[in-house]
């Protein structure tokens, strides 16, 4: 039998590197497995990545993170969803809230009953039944209830945080658990000539670090998986053409809101993320449609506080490495691929990669069976999210705006075309392989982007219409009351900071 893995070397110390160190140091047997992290003092991190999605709570639990401590350490705020401004047309706004609207009735999705009511002239928007959206709109925050009868059981939430502080915080967790940190730049990667696996990395000062397994967290450089192992990159920019971003922090001018804002611009979109100590801003754009100076000027003209630094430019190509696990190397983070941050999914992909890696941990240095399984699982999740992102751009009505016309008229992947057709035909938002984004997420964006269903689930035709309407009106009132009774986001944060919130209260 081939020798088991005894030493894992993580190359890179950005968000991906330290997430890998923090998680693996908690889940792998420390008495039999060593972890070393090499990070360069000279090569910076990408320095963005401030918004997350709810599964991060699973990661935090797996690492053993205390929420209050983590929020304090990272200047964190809560996130209940994303507000999309001007995506359908200028002046339009909708939200993709986390959690779900109402609860299924007789096993039939809540929104199917709502569609039936709407067909009969009911004008109350679905958002009135979505507690996360109500809370977000009112600047309030609350945690989900484990009691299925409570309206709060429909809630889910994530975080905004300072990316640099997050990596530093994870380091304070990983190092005491035995992760050895080496501060050095990797100058070269050496392969074993007998089997093509990586044998060691050579540092700029001449030292070498040997390992059985290597985790490439070197960001867009992809030093090991790309440069040394030559794994190809599949380019998805024909569907998601944004290839630049310009980012700038600005001064905080008001209490942080518990949602991210994504505002459509002429050649892309702008994010605004409220942290406790500052606001993160950026313009994600397509270089064919706007130049860097114009993009920076647009960004700076649309801040809600004074800029705190010079604008920083980033370049990327949307796509993925089809084999992000190959031989004795796992690529995690930007080295494995990149989907633009419209739905804040990159940090999620880091945790997903690490969790799937742990679930298919290599039996030996080169374990192609486990690697193939891993690559397939990661690929399916990425394709789902790719389709979800394309939908935002494609279903627009910004007629006469060249970039938006291009996105509306482009051919979308068959997998997305089928989803849109299903939704248009019968309001169905349950699709195959729905791993990360599920029915409520697709529903929010399909309806938000004004993709209109012609019909609804026929099972929602059961029962008397006036009874259903009464039930809906009562639910709406309960949602409104629950939202009004919830603490203001800032008060919740202050109490969390002071250590006086009751966590998990119903």
Ligand X SMILES: Cc1cc2nc3c(=O)[nH]c(=O)nc-3n(C[C@H](O)[C@H](O)[C@H](O)COP(=O)(O)OP(=O)(O)OC[C@H]3O[C@@H](n4cnc5c(N)ncnc54)[C@H](O)[C@@H]3O)c2cc1C
Nearer to ligand X, 163 or 174 (CB): 163
Nearer to ligand X, 81 or 282 (CB): 282
Q: How far is the CB of 299 from ligand X (least distance, A)?
A: 12
d(CA 85, CA 433): 29
Nearer to ligand X, 94 or 214 (CB): 214
User: Beta 34-39 vs 7-11: how paired, if at all?
Assistant: parallel
Structure tokens at 126: 């679905």
- Summarize as ranges the residues that interact with ligand X (CB under 6 A): 11-17, 38-40, 43, 45-46, 48-52, 163, 185-186, 217-219, 221, 223, 245, 282, 314, 316, 333-335, 341, 344, 346-347
Q: Which of 79, 134, 327, 365 is catalytic?
A: 79
Nearer to ligand X, 311 or 341 (CB): 341
Nearer to ligand X, 18 or 239 (CB): 18
DSSP letter (8 states) at residue 299 = H
Residue 72 burial (CB count, 10 A): 18
The neighbouring-strand residues paired with 182 are 38
Q: How far is the CB of 1 from ligand X (least distance, A)?
A: 33
Phi/psi of residue 244, nearest 5 degrees = -145, 155
Q: How far is the CB of 271 from ligand X (least distance, A)?
A: 7
Phi/psi of residue 208, nearest 5 degrees = -130, 150
Instruction: List all residues 6 or more positions away from 65 whose beta carbon is below 8 Å from its beta carbon.
Output: 173
Q: How far is the CB of 39 from ligand X (least distance, A)?
A: 5
Instruction: List all residues 6 or more positions away from 344 whose beta carbon is below 8 Å from its beta carbon.
Output: 51, 52, 53, 79, 82, 158, 260
Structure tokens at 144: 């989900």
Residue 487 burial (CB count, 10 A): 15
Nearer to ligand X, 115 or 275 (CB): 275
Q: Is 79 a catalytic residue?
A: yes
Helix H or strand E segment including 78: strand 77-79
Q: How far is the CB of 13 from ligand X (least distance, A)?
A: 4
Which candidate, 504, 377, 397, places its Cα nearest to that of 89? 397
Residue owning tokens 């209260």: 505
Q: What's the CA dihedral at 405, 407, 410, 415 to 10 degrees? A: -150
Compute CA 34 distance to the chain's CA centroid, rounded to the nearest angstrom. 30
- Catalytic residues, which ones? 79
């Amino acid at each position: 039998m081939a020798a088991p893995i005894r030493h894992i070397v993580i190359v890179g110390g950005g968000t991906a590197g330290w997430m890998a160190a923090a998680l693996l140091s908690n889940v792998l047997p420390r008495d039999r497995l060593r972890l070393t992290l090499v990070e360069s003092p000279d090569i910076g991190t990408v320095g963005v990545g401030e918004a997350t999605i709810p599964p991060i709570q699973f990661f935090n639990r797996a690492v053993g993170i205390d929420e209050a401590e983590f929020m304090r350490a990272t200047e964190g705020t809560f996130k209940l969803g994303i507000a999309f401004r001007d995506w359908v047309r200028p002046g339009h706004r909708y939200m993709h809230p986390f959690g779900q609207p109402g609860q299924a009735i007789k096993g039939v999705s809540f929104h199917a009953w709502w569609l039936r009511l709407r067909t009969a002239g009911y004008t109350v928007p679905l958002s009135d039944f979505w507690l996360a959206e109500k809370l977000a709109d009112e600047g309030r925050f609350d945690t989900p209830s484990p009691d299925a009868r409570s309206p709060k059981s429909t809630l889910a939430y994530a975080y905004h945080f300072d990316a640099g502080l997050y990596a530093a915080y994870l380091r304070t967790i990983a190092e005491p658990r035995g992760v050895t940190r080496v501060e050095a730049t990797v100058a070269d990667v050496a392969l074993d000539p007998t089997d093509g696996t990586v044998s060691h990395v050579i540092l700029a000062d001449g030292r070498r670090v040997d390992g059985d397994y290597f985790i490439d967290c070197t960001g867009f450089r992809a030093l090991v998986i790309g440069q040394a192992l030559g794994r190809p990159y599949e380019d998805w920019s024909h569907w998601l053409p944004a290839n630049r971003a310009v980012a700038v922090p600005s001064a905080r001018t008001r209490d942080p809101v518990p949602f991210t804002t994504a505002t459509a611009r002429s050649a892309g979109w702008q994010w605004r993320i409220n942290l406790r100590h500052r606001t993160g801003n950026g313009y994600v754009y397509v270089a064919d449609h706007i130049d860097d100076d114009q993009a920076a000027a647009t960004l700076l003209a649309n801040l809600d506080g004074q800029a705190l630094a010079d604008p920083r430019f980033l370049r990327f190509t949307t796509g993925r490495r089809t084999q992000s696990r190959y031989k004795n190397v796992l690529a995690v983070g930007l080295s494995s691929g990149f989907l633009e941050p419209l739905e804040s999914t990159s940090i999620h992909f880091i945790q997903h990669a690490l969790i799937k890696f742990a679930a298919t941990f290599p039996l030996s240095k080169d374990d192609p069976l486990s690697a193939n399984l891993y690559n397939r699982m990661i690929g399916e999740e990425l394709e789902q999210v790719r389709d979800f992102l394309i939908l935002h751009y494609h279903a627009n009505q910004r007629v006469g705006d060249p970039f938006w016309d291009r996105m509306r008229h482009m051919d979308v992947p068959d997998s997305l075309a089928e989803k849109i057709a299903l939704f248009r035909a019968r309001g169905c938002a349950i699709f195959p392989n729905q791993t990360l984004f599920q029915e409520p997420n697709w529903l929010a964006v399909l309806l938000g982007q004004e993709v209109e269903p012609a019909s609804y689930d026929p099972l929602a035709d059961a029962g008397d219409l006036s009874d259903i309407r009464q039930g809906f009106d009562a639910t709406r009132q309960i949602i409104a009351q629950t939202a009004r009774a919830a603490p203001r986001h800032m008060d919740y944060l202050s109490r969390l900071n002071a250590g006086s919130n009751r966590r998990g209260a119903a």
